[in-house]
């Protein structure tokens, strides 16, 4: 293959291998059986979600990063882990975060959203559970954004340019949302484009990571608040 194609092939194969392995294991009957055997009554849902997120941290983040570090590049800027344009990132992150929280505020109470979120389906949330769910969400999304906007986007960007990198990224990103239904798959297309554009403009993945975390956590917290069968337990 031509030398310039090597980063693109590497990025695509690594990203697809990482995501497909994660998805297969996270949705496998073996994982559900293992979690069921080791979960006390009432802990099945949290343990299953935590296990899935830990698998994501491993197969979307740690292993792809290790493979990239060993076989492709050790320059953090080439995979979006540098600081990039920090001042622009902070301004854009603040603006987008406000917009996202406002949208989530009105969307979280919808029945279609409450049917899916929060992912952990327990009626009583302790503050400890809120903390661990928020932490695992954050680490999972860091791994997720590294795979898509770091490894996949930046390596292809340097080899093929913005248009090709964005087209590939948005296509793969939308396909990754197919298990979540048509609405999220279609929504992933404009969101994927926006995240790629801001990632390109700021020169790092940190805006995409922060925006994705703000979106996930605000939706989870508001979904708990609006869900008619859920509540946060008061501290004893």
pLDDT at res. 171: 95
Contact 203, 82 (CB under 8 A): yes
Containing domain of residue 138, as a range?
3-232
- Which 3 state secondary structure label does DSSP give 211? helix
Instruction: Output the pTM of the full model.
Output: 0.93
For residue 106, count CB atoms less than 10 angstroms from its CB and return exposed for 0-12, middle for 13-18, buried for 19 or more.
exposed
Q: What angle do CA 218, 224, 225 make, to 5 degrees?
A: 90
d(CA 48, CA 26): 9
Which letter does DSSP use for residue 234 in this model?
Answer: P
Contact 116, 226 (CB under 8 A): no
Domain count, the chain: 1
pLDDT at res. 34: 87
Mean pLDDT by runs of 10 across the 236 residues of the chain is 76 96 94 83 80 97 98 95 93 94 95 93 94 98 97 96 96 90 88 94 96 96 96 78
- For the chain, give the longest Cα–Cα distance: 65
pLDDT at res. 1: 43
HSE toward the beta carbon, residue 229, CA cutoff 13 A: 9
């Amino acid at each position: 293959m031509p030398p310039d194609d090597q980063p693109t092939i590497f990025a695509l194969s690594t990203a697809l291998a990482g995501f497909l392995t994660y998805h297969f294991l996270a949705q496998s009957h073996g994982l559900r059986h293992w979690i069921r055997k080791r979960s006390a009554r009432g802990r099945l849902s949290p343990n299953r979600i935590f296990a899935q997120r830990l698998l994501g941290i491993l197969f979307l983040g740690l292993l792809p990063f290790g493979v990239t570090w060993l076989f492709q590049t050790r320059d953090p800027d080439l995979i979006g882990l540098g600081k990039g344009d920090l001042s622009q990132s902070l301004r854009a992150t603040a603006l987008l975060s406000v917009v996202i929280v406002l949208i989530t505020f009105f969307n979280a109470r919808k029945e279609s959203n409450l049917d899916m979120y929060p992912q952990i389906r327990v009626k009583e949330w302790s503050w400890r559970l809120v903390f661990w769910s928020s932490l695992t969400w954050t680490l999972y999304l860091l791994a997720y954004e590294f795979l898509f906007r770091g490894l996949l986007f930046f390596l292809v960007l340097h080899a093929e340019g913005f248009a090709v990198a964005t087209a590939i990224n948005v296509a793969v990103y939308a396909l990754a949302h197919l298990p979540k239904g048509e609405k999220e798959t279609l929504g992933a297309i404009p969101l994927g484009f926006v995240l790629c554009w801001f990632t390109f403009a700021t020169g790092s993945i940190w805006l995409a990571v922060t925006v994705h975390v703000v979106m996930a956590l605000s939706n989870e917290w508001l979904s708990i608040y609006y869900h008619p069968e859920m509540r946060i337990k008061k501290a004893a």
